[in-house]
Copies of this chain bind each other. A is one copy, B any other.
């Protein structure tokens, strides 16, 4: 079992990572939260059908009352309605400030459950129990949110969990599409911070359905460490945390215009990464073998072109509405080299030209 400490200005908390780590959860709760009386597990339909029984049985060992609330899968969990329903369920079942929320699922469940925890009676503790590879990204950093029709994650908070229990055996049940979504963030973390990690990935990972527990342990650990080192410096996203947005400027726009849920987050981000790499070559003279990269990711099943049905002007409009866009000119995270990101404002004309090279 690995234990990584995440330090932010507002809080420090551990990420426990490995196989069978979930079995430590009841002891952790008993030891640190003896005054908690009710525990609400929020999970989604699919994850609940596979893992809820196990987790609930484990948590019931604490002797505390354990409740469950099941939300829809994926981004459908991140609506205002579902957020409100969670709050109503919690109130109807007598949760109070001595209650705790467990988020059992992927990034979407973590986002909505975390935002419920952040706002229920102005904030109660929550623990993340990620079940996806993508969640290695979302479970660290304290960003919780729901979506608005005008954009993803538009309403939310910075709210850190008490702990993350990352049970690797949960990943065995992941469909390949979900692994692909999460692995894009692993690639991103390597690209923005660690050339050796990138080299390890490109040489080790040839088949997303054959990743071993050891490989998962290493890549998730490195991904979390990289993210944590950045979040540590910049909890509220005012500075270097922007580097984590590599691939996300275009990625979010692609994801948003295709409709959340129709294209996974990671698949969209990967297209954004290819775009940002090409832009980096033109604008900051990145020396990088983009051909080798695109061949590798294509072999893993990623698309590396902008979907034909997307209107280019709409993509640019969407990027301008991104909450990280603060002026009328769009800022991209580019790479001077692998491991060395930089923020660059790009004029609309250049953005368009680069898009047209990627259809």
State A121–B87 Cα separation when bound (angstroms). Answer: 20
Set B119, B237, B327: member contacting A156, Cβ < 8 A: B119
Cβ–Cβ < 8 Å partners of A155 in chain B: 87, 119-121
Interface residues of A in 144-189 (CB under 8 A from B): 145, 148, 150-151, 153-158
Q: How does the 8 Å CB contact mask read for A32-50 relative to B, with 1 for contact and 0 for none?
A: 0000010000000000000
**Bound-state Cα–Cα, A156 to B157, Å:** 11
Identical subunits present: 2
- Complex Cα distance A158/B121, Å? 10
A65 within 8 A of B: no
Proximity string of chain A (320-349) to chain B, C-beta cutoff 8 Å, 1 when within and 0 when not: 010111110000000000000000000000
| B80, B88, B321: the one within 8 Å of A150 (CB) | B88
A91 lies within 8 A of B151 (CB): yes
A14-22, A56-64, A92-100, A267-275 - the one binding chain B: A92-100
Give A93-126 as 1s and 0s: 1 = Cβ < 8 Å from B's Cβ atoms: 0101110000000000000000000111111000
Taking a contact as CB atoms under 8 Å apart, the answer to whether B87 and A154 are in contact is yes
A11 to chain B, nearest CB (A): 11
| B157–A326 CB distance below 8 A | no
Bound complex: CA of A92 vs CA of B154, how far in Å?
A: 12
Cα-based distance from A158 to B84 in the complex (angstroms): 19
Selected from B123, B148, B325, the residue in CB contact (under 8 A) with A91 is B148
Residue of B nearest to A143 (CB): B122
Q: Mark out the residues of chain A between 298 and 326 whose CB falls within 8 Å of any chain B CB in the assembled complex.
A: 321, 323-326
In the complex, chain B residues whose CB is within 8 Å of the CB of A283: none
- 3 closest A-B pairs by beta carbon, nearest first, are A121-B323, A91-B150, A98-B326
